[in-house]
Structure 1
Amino acid sequence: MKRKEARNRGKQAGGRKWLVITLAGVMGMTPVLGSGLPFGQGLLSGYVVEAASASSVTKLGEEILTSGAVLMKYQMKSGTQTTLADVIRVDLNNKYVKLDVMTGTNNQFTARQSTGGMAQENGAVAAVNGDFFITGGQGAPMGGQVGNGILMSTPSQLQGMYAFLVTKDGKPMVDEYTFEGSIQAENGAVFPLAGMNKSAYVPEGGASKYSHLDAAYIYTGAWKAIERPTNSSTTPTEVMVTNGVITEISSMGGIPSAVPEGSYILRTHGKAAEFVRNQLAVGQTLTANYSLVSKQSGARVNPDSLQMMIGGHTLLVNGGKASSFTRDVSSIGGTRARTAVGYSKDNRYIYLVTAQKNSSSAGMSLSQLQEFMVSIGVWKGLNLDGGGSTTMVHRPLAEGSTKLTFNTEYGTAQRSIVNALGVFSTAPKGSLKGVKISGDTTLLIGQAGQYQLKGYDTYYNPVDMGSVNTSWKSSSGSLKVNGSTITAVKPGTSTLSAASGSASASMKVTVLGSEDIKELRAGTPSAPLAAGTTVSVPVTAVLNNGSSVDVPDSALQWEFSGFQGKVANGQLTVSSVNPGTQVGYAIARYDGFSTVVVLSSAAESMWEDFEYTSYPISFTTNVAAVTGKAAIVQDNDTNNRSKVLKLDYDMTGGIGQKMYAYAEFNGTTGKSVPATAASMSLDVKGDTSFNWLRAEFKDKNGKTAYVDLAKMIDWSGWKTLNVDLSAYGIAFPAQLKRVYVVNVEEGQDERSATGSVAFDNLSFMMPSLSSDAGLPTGTAQMSIGQKSMTVNGTKIATDAAPLLKDGTTYVPIRFVLDAFGGQAGWSGADQRVTVLRGSKLLELTVGKKELVLNGKRMTSSVAPMIVSGRTLVPLRVVSEQLGLTVKWDNNNKTVTIQS
């Protein structure tokens, strides 16, 4: 089970009303039953704050989101580490803005959704992810939650877990709360309540490790699931209460329905169930009373007095200084993406704080987060859920919906979570204050962008300008204007201007050229070479800044070698194959930059479907305390009830270190992948553990390659994964030794320690089975200054001699290809050499120290050059990229090439 501490949402939509009860909040948390370790063990009364190194914080800019809310961007430097942080500051003195909690789909627990999804469903201007939760649990927060003034969840019985709240009169507070409550029968008998809408967890400080043992819990319509809860290790007796009257009692079994609106279910076990049997009956009244209680002051808090409340983790800042940690933070340590919330000394400003961890930002330690919060004015604040859950979305000025503010630890993917903290505008419609152009700031050649002139009012909320007539113009020929459709024509930056009456705006639009691209990826790198073949060939451009963009058909030019065909609507169709052709190439170019689809007689090869496996499959691990099983079993969830490889694992005994659960093929030997594989496909049955899934290869040179199958297992049920192997440098034939689940030490609170995954239909795209097989082999020799070469003992005349310059041998590539197979092409307009050999497309440009190999830009120490009208290429660079071996004899000034 995974110990993610909870988050959820308290804002009601569409007039939905949950049962309102009084409450007092204590927050304590531990993992869900049967899922793993307790959230904290051996807790102390206080934890010393980490030593923080001196850092510098620079404000990079700010953007108004709505009246009373501003997005501010910061950079924090600590030694050589640079971190980007984003802060939403909310002014509680502004009556047109408020904070509230959002939760899963339809504002219910056990129905997780992303931060962006919650913002969209509830109309938030901005949002950050919220409370901790148990990843393997049903989807309820660990802490208490009040949304829209309604109590939705109570604090868990855990130590040192703080919460953030805002009262209805606009006062922010950060405190640690406990819950006190009871139910009273019609005859006056009373039994204590343990909480509301809680997943099963391990309480702290009590006699039991089972949260629902001998306990009574209330479940309201905010709980979507029928089981209340799963994995509780207890059999319930449940009582349906509608308008304060008992309408149904289900003894030793749950009521088989969700909670109707206007009702609640009292879920009991053990002593609590005995109270139900002895004291309650259908038709009688039942009264529930409860409250939140501050663990620090003992003051009681009526949930009716709160606008919102959200749980968190340790206290981070107190009195404008970094505080000691109030809870063991070892499980959330390391340098990660972070989320936090706090308020200013004068109670005016709320700060929603995030620290990025992605390709542009290093993340923060908890001590760095404390230091940063203090530097921006936080007086008191606490830690919210972080790591892979850290997400911020915001609505840009004049836009109608939110977008991701920065890439998460997993790119543009947003983790599904249990609650989020949202910023809402309550302002009336104002008058038009300004306009802006909405649309892409970058385009690819041939791509048509849709642009709009959008407005915002005096409260910085969007204004509908759908009926406004707008005129457009571009400052250069990079863009072609046709009404509001702007088409990219050639690389360059242009100013796009829009005008409507007296209102006007402009923005810079850059058309990307080949120099902006680091890689072109063909979605299908290999395909069968046969007339009638039709395959999807999507192309993605990876830009120099690391971002990716789908390349539209209109931006690509296709060339075919060895066959006739066409590409239309992203589909490659082979109409005929040239006589004698064994390997064909479909070359896609964007502004000259190339990638290739290799077509050959052997394409996808089924490697293992586990139906008739004759070699052993075994489980192993790197940590003795990790247990598990790897076996071939029948899976009833597959379409044909096929056999699959199932990997069960339990890592709870090894928490605190990096752990692996391996399914090994054929002992330590592995199973052979006989030829060069461009990609790998496999079906995986996920367990939503958020663990890392990998495969281990050992190539023919003894090198080990660790291939990422999925950075996190965030799905349940079967899913097909397609994995590009070209970047791993695997020398084939190779052995696939094992597939395995990884749980690294950093961020272990975010991943389940136990789980089960399954594998089926492992296949490889092996164009080399025919494209590389059959290529000529042997030895060739060339001497500097001599217009000849010897191939397998036979001397052949050439019309150009190798040249030695600055320690590099240059040769006319055509003669090497004549000896070892392949073909070369020359584009005089682009000064470009194109080499096709086996499964590889290599392109070089005269005077440029770079090359493009199968769509990837690579750097070389030397460049091709033209001598006496002949183009010469650096032999070693080219030959080694084509899989040839080059040796230099300095005494005889001779090069030897082998294949």
Structure 2
Amino acid sequence: MKKLPAKKWIAASLAGVLWIMPVLGNEGLPQWAQGSASVAQAASSLNVTKLGEEVITSGAIMMKYKFTTVRSGKTATGLADVIRVDLNNPYVSLDVMTGKGGKLTTRQSTGGMAAETGAVAAVNGDYFNTGGEGAPIGGQVSGGVVVSTPSQLNGMYAFAVTKDRKPVIDQYSFEGLLTAEDGAQFPLAGINKGAYSPEDGSSTYSHANAAYIYTDAWTALERPKNSSTTPTEVLVENDIITQISADKALSMAVPKGAYILRTHGLGAQFVKNHLAVGQKLSSAYTLKSKSTQQELDPASLQMMIGGHTILVNDGKATSFSRSTSSIGGFRARTALGYSQSGQYVYVIAVEDNANSAGMSLTELQNFMSNIGVWKGMNLDGGGSTTMVDRPLAETSTTLTFNTEYGTEQRSVVNGLGVYTSAPKGEVKGIKISGSTVLLIGQKATYSLKGYDTYYNPIDVASGNPSWTASNGSVTVNGGEATAVKAGTATIKAASGAASASTEVTVLGGENLSSLTVGTATAPLTPGASVSVPVTAVAENGASLTVPPASLKWELIGFKGSVQDGKLTVDSVDPGVTTGYAIARYDGFSTAVVLSAAAATPWENFENVSYPIAFTSNVNSVTGTAGVAAGTAERAGSKVLSLSYDMTAGSGKMYAYAQLNGTSGKNIPAAATSMSLDVKGDMSLNWLRAEVVDGSGAISYIDLAKVIDWNGWKSLNIDLSGSGIKFPAALKRLYVVNVEEGQDERAKTGTVAFDNISFVMPSLSSEAGLPKGTAAMSIGSKSITVNGAKKAIDVAPIVKDASTYVPIKVVLDAFGGSAAWDKNTKKIMVLRGAKALDLTVNKKEFVLNGKRKTAEVAPLILQGRTLVPLRLVSEQLGLTVKWEQKTKTVTIES
């Protein structure tokens, strides 16, 4: 056993344990899902394709994989990112990153830890008690020093690299001993540990009758929370006892270079019987392999990080070493492994986002075997899964892929970093950094960056590079490019004998799937002014902010202006009740609809006359729901408050604020959008609303997939594609805690709601539109509107089983207007809250900024432009009926 000098205590940690059960009062402790270890299921067929690779630094490369599998008869695809580290390369190394400033009981994002420590790549670390101090339960070694000791838990594996650069994956226990000056000894149970429930049966509480050391790496004042017994603490500085606090914790943080011995029960008796201020106290420890019983000298390790179950052994999937029921499902995953030769370490992250369907643990085993992992184990997955890497020639790391929560990186206890110690080399290559996709009129700055023979960044910009662009789609001047027109251009930079190029695509209107105005409705009132930022979504899903200079605005029904992204109404044309501000980007249109009542206030909870009640799907879930006084910026007003406690529940759990019994509160007319203010609780739970129509059909509205904020926030929800049949009623506002990844989300919390509004066009922009019935017969130049027959100049025709009419006939009967652009052969139809763009001979059309596809296209016949009647009528909110015998079309509004 080795003496442990105080000066060697460092801030290094392992996030060790998955929190399964909540802490209850001062007695409850985090529990682990126990029972016999699950046997790995038969591996499903997983087709793995390597998409490519890029060097991060000398000895480390990033490899991207695509996988395809079949789940319940359906094909699922996803992406995995693998950093392969070559331990034969002397310049690359692995180490553990810990919290903020390298300290325990602090948390930080993976990217933040990488930036702080200078890592060139990193992933999140191991499981940890999400309700604890932010300290690990598993073991961790950094630089040969044990900072966090392994817990007495079964089937928990750890990954280590020895100082002679050999990878190891095994289970470890900790044995320690305290020796007093009088020679008396007492077992040392651990170092820097949070409270937990051991699985060896010796005690329900980790700290009962035990002694633990806390170093200056432990920044929290509690050592630890919920230790369940009264402590006696001893301050030791330079191996000398300087303070003893009997039956009470020392009211201080651990001084630098010192440690505090925290004891309970029999441990406290040892202190009282054998220790005194001024005496020496020594401590020693060892790690021991659970599989071989061999002692492991921590001084021989470069690093160690703990994990969960074993996944792969001898290149094949192996039985899980402990229950995986709490970490099941198809989630983002993080794992570590090494090759049969021991040369390569594989740092693995599986994506679960819009581009990837996540993996089960069984699929992860299959994947790891497929890419060459000989032995591998699971790290923390789910919402914690985060990978960052430094792209070639860049100076800092960036997020490798979107997490389960988008670009948000969860703050975690620790991570695993990849580091380089390579010297500065010669210039090996250069590359251009900057956006590869631009919008017309957008300006972007490009820089020339280089990398050396060790693939680390090197300055090449000082060589005053020259810049050129290949065609007229982009112009470039000194590294600043301006997108001129749709197309693809090659930007080239040269510095001395070296040169680099990159392709830049300028998106045209034809390349967009949608164009969205931040404010879709606005008041049609002189002096009104609203912000109108416009966002374009490309066909590949990329979202870009449209520069104001790239938009052409047309104002209909009012006089005003759009400048610097702000729409201002100067005056309203006589007799106009609905106005339109049409924004066009390279011919692709979207609209702001202006009316006397753009958004109708629905509920502000100031004078509620109906009952509000708390309900749940699980009897053991408790809470309250009702109108309460607002706080902070809502002081002096009333809000709907929903508090919930799901700690006694299990499975998928709901906490409902139910409005007006089972009836809900009425939404009187068709709503295209909903807005409300929500006070979040950072619980990471799911926030939804439930709407029921007159037939009893229920629709669910996602208010926020993740409650990832504290305090008040305004939400705007598009209802245009919700399929709700109005009139309807809002029945419930509620919080959902789904079963998968439940350990990652809070089971208690309070959210609040205020200022709910709906945009109901029929109450504003569609008010006053003609109602009634119109009938036309094929080949007849007449239309009957509400019983009155009128002549029309062109008869409806049938072509390819579709009926075509001049759009003017429909709009004359039911209101609205149409404008024809002979140059682009486009028809812009405006009616109520609808802005419809049609193009002759094209089945694609644009409705309120969203590209859609019809079965037939408008056409020109005998010099007349005819439109498909059913397409136009139904998109404008009209109902079309066909009578085969009489060849008559009836339109109703």
The question of a shared fold, defined as TM-score above 0.5 by the shorter chain, is answered with yes
| Equivalent residue number for residue 301 of structure 1 | 296
Match of 2:534 in 1: 539
- Return the alpha-carbon distance in structure 1 between the equivalents of residues 515 and 92 of structure 2: 45
Tell me: CA distance 1:279–1:529, structure 2 relative to 1, closer, same or farther (3 Å): farther
Q: Distance in 2 between matches of 1:589 and 1:128?
A: 43
What is the alpha-carbon distance in structure 1 between the residues aligned to residue 674 and residue 141 of structure 2? 47
Name the SS for the 2:43 alignment partner: coil
Contact 2:693–2:724 (CA<8 Å) still a contact in 1?
yes
In structure 2, relative to structure 1, the CA distance for the partners of 1:897 and 1:268 (3 Å cut) is farther
**CA separation of 1:832 and 1:380: change in aligned 2, threshold 3 A:** same
Instruction: Confirm whether residue 66 of structure 1 aligns to residue 57 of structure 2.
Output: yes
Cα drift, residue 531 of structure 1: 2.4
CA contact (8 A) 2:14 2:125 kept: no
- Verify the 8 A CA contact 2:460 2:495 in the aligned structure 1: no
Q: CA deviation at 1:865?
A: 1.2
**Residues 28 and 575 of structure 1, relative CA distance in 2, 3 Å threshold:** closer
1:53 alignment partner AA: S
Residue 711 of structure 1: how far off its partner (Å) = 1.4
Compared with structure 1, are the counterparts of its residues 192 and 797 closer, same or farther at alpha carbon in structure 2 (3 Å cutoff)?
A: farther
> 2:466 aligns to what?
471
Selected match of 2:46 from 45, 55, 69: 55
1:744-783 CA distance string (max 9 Å, x none): 2333343344444333333334454311233222222222
Q: Equivalent residues in 2 for 1:91-170 (5 A)?
A: 91-170=86-165
Distance in 1, matches of 2:7 and 2:494, equals 47
Correspondence for 1:335 among 308, 330, 334: 330
* Matches for 1:584-595 after TM superposition, within 5 Å: 584-595=579-590
Written as runs of structure 1 = structure 2, the 5 A alignment for 1:492-503 is 492-503=487-498
Q: Distance in 1 between matches of 2:14 and 2:66?
A: 39
Amino acid at match of 1:43: G
Structure 1 residue 462: deviation in Å? 0.5
Does 2:837 correspond to 1:847?
no
Alpha-carbon distance in 1 for matches of 2:579, 2:522: 9
Contact 2:429–2:451 (CA under 8 A) maintained in structure 1: yes
Cα offset, 1:688, TM superposition: 3.2
Q: Secondary structure at the match of 2:780?
A: coil
Q: Does the C-alpha gap of structure 1 residues 534 and 28 become closer, same or farther in structure 2, counting only changes over 3 Å?
A: closer
User: In structure 2, what is the equivalent of residue 483 of structure 1?
Assistant: 478
Aligned-partner residue type, residue 58 of structure 2 = S
Q: Give the equivalent residue in structure 2 for 1:858.
A: 852
- Shifted more, 307-316 versus 728-737: the winner is 728-737
Is the CA contact (8 Å cut-off) linking 1:800 and 1:812 kept in structure 2? yes
Structure 1 match to 2:308: 313
Evaluate the alpha carbon distance shift between residue 481 and residue 895 of structure 1 in structure 2; reply closer, same or farther with a 3 A threshold.
same
How far residue 736 of structure 1 moved from its aligned partner, in angstroms, is 1.2
- For residues 673 and 107 of structure 1, do their structure 2 counterparts lie closer, same or farther at Cα, with a shift above 3 Å needed? farther
Please give the alpha-carbon distance, in whole angstroms, between the structure 2 residues aligned to 1:541 and 1:21. 46
CA contact 2:19–2:743 (8 Å) conserved in 1: no
Q: CA RMSD in A?
A: 2.9
What CA distance in whole angstroms lies between the structure 1 residues aligned with 2:225 and 2:396? 36
| Alignment correspondent of 1:77 | 68
Partner of 1:784: 778
Tell me how far apart the structure 2 counterparts of residues 248 and 886 of structure 1 sit (CA, whole Å). 88
In structure 2, the residue matched to 1:13 is: none
Which shows bigger deviation, 260-269 or 873-882?
260-269
- 1:258 Cα deviation (Å)? 4.2
In structure 2, do the counterparts of structure 1 residues 771 and 72 end up closer, same or farther at CA, with 3 Å as the change threshold? same
Q: Cα offset for 1:316? A: 0.5
1:746 maps to 2:740: yes
Q: Structure 2 residue aligned with 1:517, among 486, 494, 512?
A: 512
1:720 is matched with 714
> How many residue pairs align between the two structures?
882
Report the counterpart of residue 35 of structure 2 in structure 1. 43
The residue aligned with 1:811 is 805
CA change 1:682–1:262 in 2 (3 A) is: farther
Secondary structure, aligned partner of 1:105: coil
Q: Aligned partners of 1:670, 1:64: CA distance in 2, in Å?
A: 58
CA positional deviation for 1:653:
4.8
Q: 1:699 to 1:265 in 2, by over 3 A?
A: farther
Bigger mean CA offset, 62-71 vs 168-177: 168-177
- For 2:737, the aligned partner's letter is N
Q: 1:643-662 counterparts in 2 under 5 A?
A: 643-655=638-650, 657-662=651-656
Q: Deviations along 1:273-309, whole A, 9 cap, x unmatched?
A: 5655665555555444333332222233343332222
Amino acid at match of 2:613: S
Q: How do 1:663-678 and structure 2 match up within 5 A?
A: 663-678=657-672
Q: Which residue of the partner structure matches residue 3 of structure 2? A: none
Unaligned runs of 5+ in 1: 1-15
Instruction: Give the partner amino acid of 2:60.
Output: A
Take 1:884 and 1:25, find their aligned partners in 2: how far apart are those partners? 60
1:174 alignment counterpart = 169
Contact 1:195/1:216 (8 A) holds in 2: yes
Is 1:698–1:704's contact at 8 Å kept on the other side of the alignment? yes
Identity %: 64
Counterparts in 2 of 1:727 and 1:230: CA distance versus 1, 3 Å: farther
Shift of 1:633: 3.7
Give yes or no for contact 2:13–2:148 (8 Å, CA) kept in 1.
Answer: no
Q: Which letter maps to 1:133? A: F
2:755 to 761, 782, 797: 761
Structure 2: unaligned runs, 5 residues or longer: 1-5
Cα shift at 1:314: 0.4
Flag the 1:37–1:238 CA change in 2: closer, same or farther, 3 A: closer
In structure 2, relative to structure 1, the CA distance for the partners of 1:768 and 1:377 (3 Å cut) is same
Shift of 1:250: 5.5
Distance 1:868 1:695, change over 3 A: same
How does 1:322-471 map onto structure 2 within 5 Å? 322-471=317-466
2:863 alignment partner in structure 1: 869
Question: Kindly tell me: are residues 194 and 653 of structure 1, through their superposed partners in 2, closer, same or farther at Cα, counting changes over 3 Å?
Answer: same
Q: Structure 1 pair 839/318, CA: closer, same or farther in 2 (3 Å)? A: same
Change (3 A) 1:275 1:708: farther
Deviation at 1:51, TM superposition (A): 0.6
- How many Å apart are 1:317 and its aligned residue? 0.8
Contact 2:335–2:347 (CA under 8 A) maintained in structure 1 = yes
Q: 1:882 — aligned with what? A: 876
Contact 2:17 2:126 in 1 (8 A): no
- Find out whether 1:574 has 2:569 as its counterpart: yes
413-422 vs 233-242, which moves further: 233-242
Aligned partner (choices 175, 180, 190) of residue 195 of structure 1: 190
Once residues 565 and 109 of structure 1 are traced to their aligned partners in structure 2, the CA distance between those partners, rounded to angstroms, is 59
- Structure 1 pair 162/865, CA: closer, same or farther in 2 (3 Å)? same
Deviations 1:417-463 (A, max 9, x none): 22221111111111111111111111111111211111110100000
Tell me: higher relative CO, structure 1 or 2? Use CA pairs within 8 A at least 6 residues apart.
1
State the distance in 1 between where 2:29 and 2:855 align.
Answer: 53
The answer to whether the 8 Å contact 1:673/1:734 transfers is: yes
Q: CA deviation at 1:869?
A: 2.2
Amino acid across the alignment from 2:9: L
Note if contact 1:777-1:820 (Cα within 8 Å) is conserved in structure 2: yes
1:324 CA drift (Å)? 0.5
TM superposition shift of 1:855:
1.4
CA 1:337/1:25 → structure 2, altered by over 3 Å: closer, same or farther?
closer
**What CA distance in whole angstroms lies between the structure 2 residues aligned with 1:729 and 1:474?**
48
Which string of whole-angstrom CA distances, capped at 9 and with x for unpartnered residues, describes residues 129-184 of structure 1?
22112334442334222345444433333221111111222121111122333445
Q: CA deviation at 1:22?
A: 12
The 3 A distance-change label for structure 1 pair 28 and 877 is closer
Match of 1:802 in 2: 796
378-387 or 785-794, which deviates more: 785-794
